[in-house]
């Protein structure tokens, strides 16, 4: 099996008295889409910038595509596409000249036809001066430059930031496509819906520590869910309350009941089989609720 795309062990970084990373342990597998979740200031950008040797960690080890970014940053950068969270270009260049320059920095490795193809998908006007572009259009240029050399690893810091919903979807499609073609995608976000939509696994960072790494689906399955029930006769509240993992949240009009179920549903289903259920509705928790649950639990 190939080396993981990213490995960090006990990564620490402080800015003066602020401890931005407090022992981050991460492993991102090759070919997966890994969503890196956390609110602003949790350490997402600091982690990504350590992976690219923009900042030097105080302690711990980092390996990107099997390489030490501090020892060989050029090799890491050659195989990586990066979209910064705070994206700025030389404002005096046109889109075309900016992409030409960035491609020149890559030794003209990117195929210009592919750059045009990506730009067309994002409806990007090559002739526009960067200084006249909206934030969303600048973000498109950033995305094109990150993808143009078809890198093995994509490091995307808030990739859909500033984009309208249609372009957010197109961006996510392009990211998924890159992963389908074999790229590993590591992207940070605080927009949980997009992580839920495309990430194979999710890492949650809080105050510079990883508090959870899990398959996106498993993380959601593991969480609490709500069940709304309507019975033909009086709701068997006591019987339901006695089921392990079930909490009765409200009993409503006597026929309806709202439950909170932790873990598997099997025991509840078996109890319900004894009654006539008119309506059965479950609410899957959004990743947002899962995320908040982590924060509330550990706060």
Which residues contribute to the site for another protein (CB under 8 A)?
15-16, 18, 20, 45-46, 49, 52, 54-56, 73-75, 77-78, 80, 82, 84-90, 92, 101-102, 104-107, 142, 145
**What does the alpha-carbon distance between residue 299 and residue 297 come to, in Å, rounded to a whole number?**
6
Strands 80-83 and 59-64: unpaired
Q: Nearer Cβ to another protein, position 20 or 219?
A: 20
Tell the smallest beta-carbon distance from residue 98 to another protein (Å): 10
Q: Nearer Cβ to another protein, position 20 or 240?
A: 20
Tell the smallest beta-carbon distance from residue 62 to another protein (Å): 14
**What does the alpha-carbon distance between residue 223 and residue 287 come to, in Å, rounded to a whole number?**
9
**What does the alpha-carbon distance between residue 257 and residue 274 come to, in Å, rounded to a whole number?**
16
Q: Nearer Cβ to another protein, position 8 or 80?
A: 80
Q: Count of alpha carbons within 13 Å of 127, Cβ hemisphere only? A: 0
Q: Would you list the DSSP string of 261-297?
A: E-S-SHHHHHHHTTS-EEEEEEEPPPHHHHHHHHHHH
**Residue with the two structure tokens 């309507």:** 230
**What does the alpha-carbon distance between residue 78 and residue 162 come to, in Å, rounded to a whole number?**
27
Q: Nearer Cβ to another protein, position 16 or 165?
A: 16
Sheet hosting strand 225-231, strand order edge to edge: 246-250, 256-261, 225-231, 277-283
Give helix 95-105 / helix 112-121 axis angle, nearest 10°: 140
Tell the smallest beta-carbon distance from residue 84 to another protein (Å): 5
Q: Nearer Cβ to another protein, position 75 or 265?
A: 75
**Residue with the two structure tokens 């501090």:** 70
Tell the smallest beta-carbon distance from residue 82 to another protein (Å): 4
Tell the smallest beta-carbon distance from residue 240 to another protein (Å): 50
Q: Nearer Cβ to another protein, position 133 or 268?
A: 133
Tell the smallest beta-carbon distance from residue 92 to another protein (Å): 8
Q: How far is CA 258 from the centre of its chain?
A: 31
Q: Nearer Cβ to another protein, position 13 or 63?
A: 13
The closest of 37, 74, 24, 35 to 53, measured between CA atoms, is 74
> CB burial class (10 A; 0-12, 13-18, 19+) of residue 2?
exposed
Tell the smallest beta-carbon distance from residue 149 to another protein (Å): 9
């Amino acid at each position: 099996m190939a080396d993981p795309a990213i490995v960090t062990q006990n990564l620490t970084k402080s800015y003066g008295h602020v401890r931005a990373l407090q022992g981050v342990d991460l492993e991102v597998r090759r070919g997966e889409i890994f969503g890196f979740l956390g609110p602003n200031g949790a350490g997402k950008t600091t982690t990504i910038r350590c992976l690219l040797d923009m900042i030097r960690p105080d302690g711990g080890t980092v390996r990107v595509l099997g390489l030490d970014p501090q020892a060989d940053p050029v090799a890491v950068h050659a195989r990586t596409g990066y979209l910064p969270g705070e994206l700025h270009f030389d404002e005096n260049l046109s889109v075309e000249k900016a992409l030409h320059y960035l491609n020149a920095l890559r030794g003209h490795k990117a195929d210009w036809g592919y750059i045009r193809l990506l730009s067309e998908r994002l409806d990007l006007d090559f002739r526009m001066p960067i200084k006249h572009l909206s934030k969303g259009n600048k973000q498109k240029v950033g995305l094109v430059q990150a993808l143009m050399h078809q890198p093995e690893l994509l490091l995307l810091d808030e990739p859909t930031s500033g984009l309208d919903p249609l372009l957010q979807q197109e961006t996510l499609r392009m990211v998924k496509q890159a992963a389908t073609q074999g790229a590993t995608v590591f992207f940070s976000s605080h927009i949980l819906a997009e992580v839920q939509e495309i990430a194979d696994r999710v890492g949650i960072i809080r105050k510079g520590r990883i508090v959870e790494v899990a398959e996106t689906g498993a993380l959601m399955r593991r969480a609490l869910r709500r069940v709304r029930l309507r019975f033909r006769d009086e709701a068997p509240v006591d019987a339901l309350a006695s089921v392990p993992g079930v909490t009765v949240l409200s009993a409503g009009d006597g026929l309806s009941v709202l439950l909170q179920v932790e873990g598997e549903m099997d025991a509840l289903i078996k109890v319900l089989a004894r009654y006539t259920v008119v309506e059965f509705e479950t609410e899957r928790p959004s990743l947002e609720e899962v995320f908040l649950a982590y924060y509330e639990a550990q706060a």
